[in-house]
Amino acid sequence: MSKSHWNKGFRGRKMEAPLSPRESGKCVAENSKDVFIEEEGVKKIAETLYAKRGCEGFTAQGWKQMNPLAPICMNDEAVNWVFVVDTLNFSFWPDKDDEQCLVTYKDKTYSGYMSLCAAISRAMDEGIPITEASYFANMTLDDLKHVLRSDNNVPMPMIKERHQALTEAGKVLLEHDGSFLKFIRKGGNSAEKMIKLIVETIPSYRDEATFEPVNIAYWQEERNTWIAQILVADFWGILEARGEASIPDIGYLTMFADYRVPQALVYMGALRYSSELMKTLKEGVILASGDRREVEIRGCSIWCVERIKQQLWDIAEQREGCKLEHVNSAVIDFYLWYFAKEHHAEMAHIPIHHTRCIYY
């Protein structure tokens, strides 16, 4: 894992312990130069969510909207399916807009994150044991290229990095009988402990950047676009689907900073980019992982969703005497990601930031 430094002159100094995603988001937002949280937009989104508070999408069932190709039967194979998909879930944006990697599954063609889900489910239908750790821990690069093959000869980006991430993660599961369920249960029934377990054990889930004077640890997406936090959130969604006991401290999770959610927040008026940053993004400039502007986009997005959640809770408490605590940051992220997916055409004038890395 490599760490990015905003201030090279700061290298060598003793660093404080990494902040949690929530703490780091607040720190970045308070010191951001090019990304700003707009409270009026925050309140507007909170009001929208309050009006939808009874919808199924504002429960763990929102997970199903994001994962429509996941196995219907929520058995241990489905749990490993989530692990494989989340481990490979990063960097889908194409080098050229007209060169998307496309995967057809059951007569429907998918792009982006859904092309990955389609490819993994297709492999299962073909008899490839892609959800078995004994297989994916030892699969060759050519094996993975076959599993993730496209229909239009445009390969999925970063195939070598995906192969390394998956085989490394598979070897970790082999130490737990090849079961993600057995592995994650070492974190007890705590989201916080599960996240720490993941980032301490699986290198590709360790997403950090340095922000003077503290070390910012994102611990999520979205690597892949949704790192350790997304993995825990998806596991929570499966538990809910299976009717099993939930995770009491699921509220520990923040949103999963990626490309589309910041775009949605800007579109909905809760985030604002400086004119300089907007110009840079519209020109298609690739921001390096750890670049100040890239960290500001992700950090401010995290804190923006925290502000939306707090506004929502305040509205509910004022009007109903309750906080709607079941609508947590993870659920709001599910909503915003799905909103961005459903309204991508209307949001096309808002540029996404391009950062080619394994973290989202």
Cβ 109 vs Cβ 69: under 8 Å:
no
State residue 211's pLDDT score: 60
Does residue 118 register a pLDDT over 70? yes
Q: What's the confidence (pLDDT) of residue 12?
A: 33
pLDDT cut 90: percent of the chain above it: 53
> Which of the two residues, 20 and 281, has the higher pLDDT score?
281
In this prediction, residues 108-120 reach a mean pLDDT of 94
Task: Read off the pLDDT of residues 190-221 as tens digits, 9 standing for 90 and up.
Answer: 999 998 899 889 988 876 666 654 555 543 33
Q: Determine the average pLDDT of the residues in 322-348.
A: 88
Buried-state track 108-146, b at ≥16 Cβ within 10 A, e below 16: eebbbbbbbbbbbbbbbeeebebbebeebbebeeebbee
Q: What is the pLDDT of residues 53-81, one digit of tens each?
A: 877 666 656 566 667 787 766 677 888 99
Three-state DSSP class for residue 348: coil
Cβ–Cβ < 8 Å for 117, 63: no
Grade residue 4 by pLDDT with cuts at 50, 70 and 90: very low
**H or E element in which residue 273 lies:** strand 271-273
Which residues does the annotation mark as catalytic? 258
> d(Cα 33, Cα 159) in Å, to the nearest integer?
34
- The angle subtended at Cα 77 by Cα 73 and Cα 80, nearest 5°, is 125
Q: Quote the pTM value.
A: 0.84
- Structure-token pair, residue 91: 């960097």
